[in-house]
Amino acid sequence: MSEVAVIGAGAWGTALAIQAARAGRSVVLWARTPARLASRENPRLPGFRLPDAVTITGDLPTAALVLLTVPLQYMRAVAARLPPGGPLVVCAKGMEAGTLGLPLDVLAAVQPGRPAAVLTGPNFAHEVAAGLPAATVVAAVAAAVREAAAAALGTPFFRIYGNDDPVGAQVGGAAKNVVAIAAGAVIGAGLGENARAAVVTRGLAELARLAVAMGGRADTIAGLSGLGDLMLTCAGTGSRNFSLGFALGRGERLDDVLRRRDSVTEGVATAPALVARAKEVGAELPICAIVAGVVTGQLTVPQAMDRLLSRPRKDE
């Protein structure tokens, strides 16, 4: 049995497999089509060769620690097929369409009783693969699960912080993608850096409101899984969500933008689910609601901007 299994061979899964090997672990990387990695280089993460310590397989493996990196909207089907093994660490962000569940809610439904955590934070896959300095969060109620994940993946250049508020950490990871679409649209529409700063700051307030309403803590949103991730995702075109918003702000059609991509832009599916969940718990999310309107075709970007700017004034 390997020490670490990575389920999903996208850019992030490949980067985490490289990082686990860098941390000295034996790693098995599950790919839906292993032949695509025959050269040991992933087309979705070009320039990085998988180390010899990483075994590539098409069979779902068992391991002492299992990292789930498949996109959240597909995670339920994959997680339900996992063989017994060690704790599960979700490395995907978002809210499941239909059930409105966070990642750990999905795991609890298909792997009941199995220890689980979420890994989240401001991490671009190509920088982690390159070994550039980064920090991230492992959030779980059980300290032993947090410590196991940190021990398996942590190195001096990949600093892992524990957090005992998985709800807040998951909300931060989900909602920041939605805010990033809004930030990208602002820049794409030529509305300027002042407007982007306003959207990001007020978006952070929405993250905190939703986290608290769902039973998390506001101070979690002030950390790596909230503010840190929001800063990275709203900073430029290296972010899939920001770049999608940028394209929408320039007048491109959503379907056209998505058709050109071979990776998932998490905020598109998450936005309407997030707004529906916020309504259930009584949290007001005006920026996220505007984004949901845009990605579901109910609003154009100019209409969305007009709606935000015409909101009544109030104290911060």
Strands 134-139 and 116-120: antiparallel
Strands (E), 231-316: none
CATH of the domain at 154: 3.40.50.720
Q: Looking up tokens 């005006």, which residue turns up?
A: 286
SS3 category, 88: strand
Instruction: Dump pLDDT digits (tens) for 187-215.
Output: 999 999 999 999 999 999 999 999 999 99
What's residue 263's pLDDT? 80
Among this protein's residues, is 176 annotated catalytic? yes
HSE (CB half, 13 Å, CA atoms) of 88? 28
CB 183 within 8 A of CB 242: yes
118 and 241 together in one domain: no
Lowest-pLDDT choice from 6-10, 67-71, 197-201, 264-268: 264-268
Indicate whether 315 belongs to any domain: no
241 and 103 together in one domain: no
Average the pLDDT over 156-170 and give the result.
98
Number of domains making up the chain:
2
Instruction: Dump pLDDT digits (tens) for 99-150.
Output: 999 999 999 999 999 999 999 999 999 999 999 999 999 999 999 999 999 9
Instruction: Dump pLDDT digits (tens) for 212-238.
Output: 999 999 999 999 999 999 999 998 778
Average the pLDDT over 260-279 and give the result.
92
149 and 18 together in one domain: yes
CB 61 within 8 A of CB 5: yes
What's residue 231's pLDDT? 95
Give the structural domain span for 255. Answer: 166-309
What tokens were used for 140? 């779980």
70 and 146 together in one domain: yes
What's residue 248's pLDDT? 95
What's residue 284's pLDDT? 95
191 and 140 together in one domain: no
Q: What's the helix, strand, coil split of the chain in %, to 5? A: 50, 15, 35
CB 103 within 8 A of CB 93: yes
Distances (CA, A) of 259 to 20, 256, 270, 301: 32, 5, 18, 19
Give the Cα separation of 229 and 284 in Å (integer): 21
Rounded to two decimals, what is the model's pTM? 0.94
Catalytic residue among 93, 176, 279, 314: 176
User: What is the rounded average pLDDT for all residues in the chain?
Assistant: 95
CB 293 within 8 A of CB 299: yes
What's residue 1's pLDDT? 61
Give the Cα separation of 103 and 116 in Å (integer): 10
**pLDDT beyond 80 at 7:** yes
What's residue 315's pLDDT? 80
